[in-house]
């Protein structure tokens, strides 16, 4: 990926993370939307399989969390610790921002994959089955 696009992502992602760290509410999800939005804008300029993966996983996570919050009564029925969910979401966002702040060839790709795996867990925990597995202790944060 061209350096200018990587820097653009780093700047936008860091801004979003800073805003997420400043708020203690579900508004964190609003700022998190930058992760798939900006990824898509850069993909329109230069194709990157890794960035397409980031786009897809962040979009899915945002959609899943938002759907659970918006579903009438579901967010209250499922035993979800929303404080922890949003704290972990902020940590994942920070890790993705850090990934783009580093040089592209520094060997951090594996960290990026691990971060996306963590994000997938967060998205799964707010689903019915994921919440059940979290309650049973099979998914741990």
**Inter-residue contact 52 to 43 (CB < 8 Å):** yes
Selection from 43-47, 64-68, 81-85 with the highest mean pLDDT: 43-47
Long-range Cβ contact pairs of 55-62 (< 8 A, separation 24 or more)? 57/116, 57/119, 57/120, 58/32, 58/96, 58/119, 60/120, 60/123, 61/32, 61/89, 61/119, 61/120, 61/122, 61/123, 62/29, 62/32, 62/33, 62/35, 62/36
Average predicted confidence (pLDDT) for the chain? 91
Global pTM reads 0.91
Tens digit of each residue's pLDDT (9 = 90 or more) over 37-51: 999 999 999 999 999
Token couple for 104? 């592209």
As a whole number, mean pLDDT of residues 19-38 equals 95
Q: Taking each helix axis from N to C terminus, what angle separates 34-43 and 3-22, rounded to the nearest 10 degrees? A: 170
């Amino acid at each position: 990926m061209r350096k200018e696009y990587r820097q653009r992502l780093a700047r936008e992602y860091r801004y979003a993370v800073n805003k997420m760290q400043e708020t203690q509410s579900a508004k964190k999800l609003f700022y998190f939307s930058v992760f798939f939005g900006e990824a898509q804008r850069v993909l329109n300029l230069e194709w990157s399989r890794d960035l397409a993966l980031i786009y897809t996983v962040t979009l899915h996570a945002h959609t899943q969390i938002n759907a659970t919050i918006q579903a009438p009564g579901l967010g209250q029925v499922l035993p979800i610790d929303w404080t922890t969910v949003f704290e972990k979401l902020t940590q994942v966002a920070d890790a993705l921002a850090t990934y783009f702040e580093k040089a592209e060839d520094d060997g951090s790709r594996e960290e990026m994959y691990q971060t996306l795996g963590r994000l997938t867990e967060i998205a799964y925990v707010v689903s019915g089955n994921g919440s059940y597995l979290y309650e049973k202790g099979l998914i741990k944060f």
